[in-house]
Chains A and B, each alone.
Chain A
Amino acid sequence: MKEISCKLLVIGAGPGGYVCAIRAGQLGIDTVIVEFGKPGGTCLNVGCIPSKALIHAAEEFEKISHMAGGKSPLGISIAIPSIDLETTIAWKDGIVSRLNSGVASLLKKAGVKTVHGWAKFRDGKTVEVETETGTQVVRAETVVIATGSASVELPSLPFGGPVISSTEALGLSEVPERLAVVGGGYIGLELGIAFAKMGAKVTVVEALPRVLAQYDAELIRPVVKRLTELGIEVLVNAKAKGLSTKRDALLVETATGKNGKIVADRILITVGRKPVIEDWGLEQIDLDMAGKFIRIDDQCRTSMRGIFAIGDVTGEPMLAHRAMAQGEMVAEIVAGHKRSWDKRCIPAICFTDPELVTAGLSPEEAKGLGGEIKVGLFPFAANGRAMTKMGEDGFVRVVARADNHLVLGIQAVGQGVSELSTAFGLALEMGARLEDIAGTIHAHPTQGEGFQEAALKALGHALHV
């Protein structure tokens, strides 16, 4: 097979890789991208997009189920609904498929050549790709590693049979009757809540003293309350030990040290993700590592000249939008532009019910800086739009420096608050002060008004509380 030579080779067509390749193509760089699976990576195929599709379906189903119980305060009544998960998954797959082809066509439009197959480094400039039609050798001046991450397996609970990862969970053909979720992080709770809404009896097993441990207790309180309402049992300080001999139950050691058994037909393992650093020839190029991740500098350069790394393989936070921003930056660096990583905040969203958004520093982190801070919190119970959506739980919280009112962090929990993340990110990136947010007209009636009110609260003159 003929060798390909190019200026830029991107390994992995996830959100980091494909954005890098598209931007490089736009800039006129001769670019090749290699992907083993479908374009879009974890995010598009087995992560963000399909999970949100499933979560949306679950929400709709749960709403209708409420109405069927005759309890709807909206006055709507309906016959008892049912869900055909196979159809739901097909709908979800349709979305994913449309986006897959969308990414493929964007790459094509940008003049990027796509090679399907598994890439392996031969040396720092040469990569061999195992394709369906044989080995394709690609020589490149610059290589970008964007191999992403994969679900972490538990040694005592290897994937297979009833033990599934999030990837399998997003492809189930029917709602499990009993679902045990090992790991109370955001993936576990997002999927756990979705399946609970679709009728599964869900139990969450978390080794730490509380779920969503990376968030502060005040922020997750509405989520914990909702878990109870949804009938999700949460075992904290509990360890998953393995499967029962009949493979129909999860064995756990509870907080008190007692052994227990959680009967489940599916056991979803969501204990984290690990960078994909195997099977693509890392040993051939011997890059410096930062723990289990590839070490990069503020331009995403690795320890080897001409090799960049972006996305999950380079560390936390393992978020698609971080990878995208890195990908865009690296493409521009390769094109000769002066760029470096200078972002102020990477917002993070947890699509639980209610949703969580964090951007910048939490009150605790801000206090850790040593200066005086101001915190303003506005509850959605005082927000008209939240009331009309029956989503009064939650709040927006703004953290600012006391001396000059520079906003350091913004958090929110509530129905639909994921959409507020754009405003939060913009405010922090622009260097907004409390007065800037308070002085911006926030359209009425929206939940976004809560953001303005939180800033006003921090300034000491909230209008609606």
Chain B
Amino acid sequence: MGEYVIKLPDVGEGVAEAELVEWQVKVGDLVREDAVLAAVMTDKATVEIPSPVDGEIVWLGAEIGDTVAIGSPIVRLKVAGEGNVKAGAESSGGEAKATGATPTPSPSPQGGGGRASAPKADAKPAPPSGSASVRGSEMATESPSPLWGGVRGGGTLSPRSALSAAPRPEGEKPLASPAIRLRAKEAGVDLRQVAGSGPAGRIRHEDIDAFLASGPQLAKVSGLARNEAVEDIKIIGLRRKIAEKMALAKSRIPHITYVEEIDVTALEELRAALNKEKRAGAERSKLTLLPFLMRAMVKAITDQPNINALFDDEAGIVHQHGGVHIGIAAQTPSGLVVPVVKHAEARDIWDCAAELNRLAEAARSGTATRDELSGSTITITSLGAMGGVATTPVINHPEVAILGVNKMMVRPVWDGTQFIPRKMMNLSSSFDHRVIDGWDAAVFIQRIKMLLETPALIFVD
């Protein structure tokens, strides 16, 4: 019997590390060659890690949410034959990891740094598909409180979880000394509503102080219970990517948001007519509003190419692109992803619609490739029918503009003599104010407005 170490393979172009988002095996499992061991996530895509050999899992080198450097050992298998580990140095290195050291040698701040301070001495294997919330609660019960010094066999309530114990289940008396109870009674405080920070959730004078300080309206006795529960949910996987990306965009880019309303009555009529006509030529996709907007953007960008650009602020260079690659922010079951319709300038309206549909489906089913999810030069964000009156879209860094589509609705519009019902839609668009001035932004949106309100112009080349 030998030992076989699987290292994290290169999962994408130029990627130095990947986040582990799922284990499909656990220690003790027997796996066949090509069986999927884990899933890791790079910038956009999720990549599965297959097993190159048959064997028994003896060690898993990372936990879900860890960022693992390419080339780091992540799985050890017991295999028939020699394996790929010599009995000497490397093996003992592995042992060391298994008994204490952090399994993530990544030097990145979001990777190994944080983990190193949380020793996992017994190298507890990650659950095969552990959810973040479950892990969170385990952490809470594992962390010993100083108040539990000397506890043996049993004591697991930390002050944190005791805090979350209020309000209590129906009928359960709050735990407090007689003096506390008297004080609460006199102050008109319903102790059932007070979180206890003492051992076993005991309410202390400080807890009453805090409760009273939280405001007289809260101190009043009411029949409605306050829920003080706190659940720690680790931000991992796609959500972490989104979080990082949004934080980057908002911290680096001074946003300017411009909202304009557009009368899409004519556009809607045209769209309906085109969709009706479409029945004859069955291969054409049904048109939504987005392909029209995409085409209008292409036309507007022709006049203002600086809007279709990526800003490398570190180098101080705006990369102005000729090709219009429009990212479409889409909500999927696993979170927000942005598939990209490449070269919209070279696609007619039906092409745009077809590509959009194809990418949306791929994103929803999780089969979109890394290539399909990257390379945009400008982005559209749409909440569809949910789209509200106005939004403040966050620019897809390092782009310089994003167009947000709000909900279309029939509103009364004054035509000079009377109110008439018109189909109105707002566009909420954000621009990188470092390179796009408000005037330019307004000109860009006004051009799009004109095109959408007179949709025939979209088709005029």
Contacts and interface: CB of A to CB of B under 8 A. Distances in A.
Contacts of A338: 185-186, 188
A337 B155 contact: no
Contact of B177 (A402, A430, A439): A430
B201 interface: yes
B150 A435 contact: yes
A405 interface: yes
A443 to B, nearest CB: 21
Chain B interface main SS type: loop
A340 interface: yes
Given A337-B186, A431-B176, A405 B202 contact: no
Contact of B155 (A405, A429, A439): A405
A340 B151 contact: no
B154 A436 contact: no
Interface string B169-185: 00001011110010001
B161 to A, nearest CB: 10
B332 to A, nearest CB: 40
Contacts of B318: none
A459 B152 contact: yes
Interface residues of A, number: 23
Contacts of A339: 185
Contact of A342 (B150, B153, B181, B200): B181
A433 B173 contact: no
A404 B178 CA distance: 20
Contacts of B185: 338-340, 342
A342 B154 CA distance: 29
Contacts, number: 55
A431 B175 contact: yes
A403 interface: yes
Contacts of B37: none
A406 B175 contact: yes
A344 interface: yes
Interface string A394-408: 000000011111100
B157 interface: yes
Q: Which of A338, A374, A406, A433 counts the most chain B CB atoms within 10 A?
A: A433
A436 B162 CA distance: 17
A461 interface: yes
A231 interface: no
A460 interface: yes
Nearest to B187: A338
Contacts of A337: 186
Contacts of B201: 404
Interface in A372-397: 374
Listed from nearest, the 3 A-B pairs whose CB atoms lie closest are A404-B200, A431-B175, A406-B200
12 contacts: A340-B185, A374-B154, A403-B154, A404-B199, A404-B200, A430-B177, A431-B200, A435-B150, A435-B199, A459-B151, A459-B154, A460-B152
Given A344-B173, A435-B151, 18 more contacts: A337-B186, A338-B186, A342-B185, A374-B154, A401-B200, A404-B162, A404-B201, A405-B154, A405-B200, A406-B175, A406-B200, A430-B178, A431-B175, A431-B176, A431-B198, A433-B200, A436-B199, A439-B150
